[in-house]
Amino acid sequence: MTRILITSAIPYINGIKHLGNLVGSQLPADLYARYNRARGSEVMFICATDEHGTPAELAAAKAGKPVDEFCAEMHEIQADIANRFGLSFDHFGRSSSDQNKKLTQHFAGRLKAEGYIEEVSEKQVYSNADGRFLPDRYIEGTCPNCGYDGARGDQCENCTKQLDPTDLIDPRSAISGSTDLEVRETKHLYLRQSKLKDQLDAWITSKGDWPVLTTSIAKKWLHDGDGLRDRGITRDLNWGVPVKDGDAEWAGMEGKVFYVWFDAPIEYIAATKEWADARGLDDDAWESWWRTDKGAEDVQYVQFMGKDNVPFHTLSFPATIMGSGEPWKLVDYIKSFNYLNYDGGQFSTSKGRGVFMDQALEILPADYWRWWLLSHAPETSDSEFTWENFQSSVNKDLADVLGNFVSRVTKFCNSKFSPAVPEGGTYGEREQALIADLTTKTRAYETHMAAMDVRKSAAELRSIWAAGNEYLQEVAPWSTFKTDPEQAAAQIRLALNLIRVYAVLSAPFIPTASAQMLSGMNTLDMSWPDDLEAALGVLPVGHEFTVPEVLFAKISDDQRTEWAERFSGTRD
């Protein structure tokens, strides 16, 4: 059996994600996971919250809570929203877990032993009042160039001149406002990625089947300017994974933590261990997914992410894996996405512009969003969300084409026969033609899904739905019924079975509606239609069903107008 390991870029703990974040990683990853499970593969689908770093500390301070408590609460909120969006993670972990601390320290120790860590001494501003070192952008003062009062340590946003923190006149902490600052000498660890440049380059080059978006970004970082640069992997913060050499202390690094981008991808592995630990399984259970010496050789590992995450997944994280000298699994395929824009501009977390995951679920069920987002996923270039487009897609595709098909078939059967699969008649030429058509379309759908061509998959699925309406329109059972009720029964029998087939095929996109369709058809049979003719006979003569409620309600013009207004600026 094929074993597929799927990871979605892990969302940052600081706040609820917007729809652009969702469609860039978690949602398409979920589509792929659900599809492969449906086809009988063994799937491990991993995601987590990315919890370390200064933004988390500041957000916690703003909320008046200890950072660990803040993260724990935010993790629960994100887990709940993910669940309500139907994101079917096998485990939704936390980068602040003990498993990740141990593993991150382990990797650092291995990298040190293999000669891929360099210790560098730097000067950095320390705030006595805050009791911490300050990153450049958290120091404010007066710009020596233009006199602007709110210049930051890295740049003056008024005159755009780049600065060093020591250039500022009357510097102060952006966190506390304190002016009790001093420059201290501090030591940091650098990951010597440059030593692995050729190895990384050869590895990327070998991935000829990866999307251009992925490889071009990686190549740019490898060859731009002086080539791949070493990266600092430690910070002077309290909130993070303490710097250690495996289990041992690291001399001179006391009180420091690893940089969030070092420990975050390692969480993919650690979250799988969290999964095993939560189920009382031994180490073999998770190592068989990640260690090529313990069974992961045959695992197909696919990562999903937005384009901003590509450098870390094509270079930094692989450098960590390669540099460890241990047989960890490298990614086999990276599916990256462009950005989704919102109504003529960007989604903005800080301005509250656009629709956020919790708000989306307040106004409509998850399937509506899943369908629109996936069928418009920004695969080849940035794409755009507009309320008009959303309204017409939902109304036309979901309500009119699919929802109405279910409705017209079940209601017709109920009124002319009974709420059960009717008996009589036989399948003829037209039915065979439909089966042939559906077979072709289903095979095309499978090909697109396997290739992670999200939009093409959605278009193919829609055309499979439409085929049912085309068939009904042509054979017109409402007319047939008047002259040949037996034949009308055969036509409706086929159409009822088609509803089950649609539920199975559509489940990766719209799992909730799919479950409603199966429930309405009173069946638990989710077998994949490998053979369409057989699949259209699964519900036997006499099988009872219930006429389902309206599957998808339409979006009215009033609603559309109201929502466009509501989400245009400030988050409520």
Partner RNA sequence: GGCGUUAUAGCUCAGUUGGUUAGAGCGAACGACUCAUAAUCGUUAGGUCGGUGGUUCAAGUCCACCUAACGCCA
CB distance 369 to 363 below 8 Å: no
From the CB of 537, what's the least distance to RNA, in Å?
22
The reply to whether 479 sits near RNA by the rule CB under 7 A is yes
Shorter beta-carbon distance to RNA: residue 31 or 398:
398
Coil/strand/helix, residue 446: helix
The reply to whether 478 sits near RNA by the rule CB under 7 A is yes
From the CB of 172, what's the least distance to RNA, in Å?
22
Nearest-Å Rg of the Cα atoms of the chain is 28
Question: DSSP H helical segments within 299-365, as ranges?
Answer: 310-311, 317-323, 357-363
From the CB of 78, what's the least distance to RNA, in Å?
23
> What length is written for the chain?
572
Chain residues 406-435 in contact with RNA, contact rule CB under 7 A = 406-409, 411-412, 415
Q: Which residue has the tokens 């099988």?
A: 543
Shorter beta-carbon distance to RNA: residue 170 or 209:
209
Q: From the list 277, 400, 437, 533, which residue makes contact with RNA (rule: CB under 7 A)?
A: 400
From the CB of 25, what's the least distance to RNA, in Å?
17
What is d(CA 468, CA 38) in angstroms, rounded to the nearest whole number?
22
Q: From the list 20, 24, 403, 529, which residue makes contact with RNA (rule: CB under 7 A)?
A: 403
From the CB of 107, what's the least distance to RNA, in Å?
25
The reply to whether 379 sits near RNA by the rule CB under 7 A is yes
Partners of residue 383 on adjacent β-strands = 340
The reply to whether 137 sits near RNA by the rule CB under 7 A is no
Shorter beta-carbon distance to RNA: residue 71 or 513:
513
Chain residues 193-232 in contact with RNA, contact rule CB under 7 A = 216, 220, 224
Read off φ and ψ for residue 171, nearest 5 degrees: -65, 145
The reply to whether 386 sits near RNA by the rule CB under 7 A is yes
Q: From the list 42, 198, 254, 474, which residue makes contact with RNA (rule: CB under 7 A)?
A: 474
Beta strand spans in 275-323 (E): 299-306
Partners of residue 420 on adjacent β-strands = 544
Give the β-pairing of 248-249 and 257-258.
unpaired
Q: Which residue has the tokens 């933590």?
A: 257
Q: From the list 470, 530, 544, 562, which residue makes contact with RNA (rule: CB under 7 A)?
A: 470
The residue type at 297: E
Shorter beta-carbon distance to RNA: residue 4 or 551:
551
| Burial degree of 528 (CB within 10 A; 0-12, 13-18, 19+) | middle
Shorter beta-carbon distance to RNA: residue 275 or 387:
387
Cα-Cα end-to-end distance for the chain: 48
Q: From the list 436, 546, 550, 562, which residue makes contact with RNA (rule: CB under 7 A)?
A: 550
- What x/- string results for residues 70 through 109 when contact with RNA is judged by CB under 7 A? ----------------------------------------
Q: Is 8 left (phi over 0), alpha (psi -120 to 50) or beta?
A: beta
Chain residues 233-292 in contact with RNA, contact rule CB under 7 A = none
What is d(CA 28, CA 562) in angstroms, rounded to the nearest whole number?
29
Sheet with 132-133: strands ordered across: 132-133, 117-127, 181-191, 231-232
Q: Which residues would be at the binding site for RNA (CB under 7 A)?
A: 155, 160, 162, 216, 220, 224, 346, 376, 378-384, 386, 388-389, 392, 396-401, 403-404, 406-409, 411-412, 415, 455-456, 459, 462, 466, 469-470, 472-474, 476, 478-479, 550-554
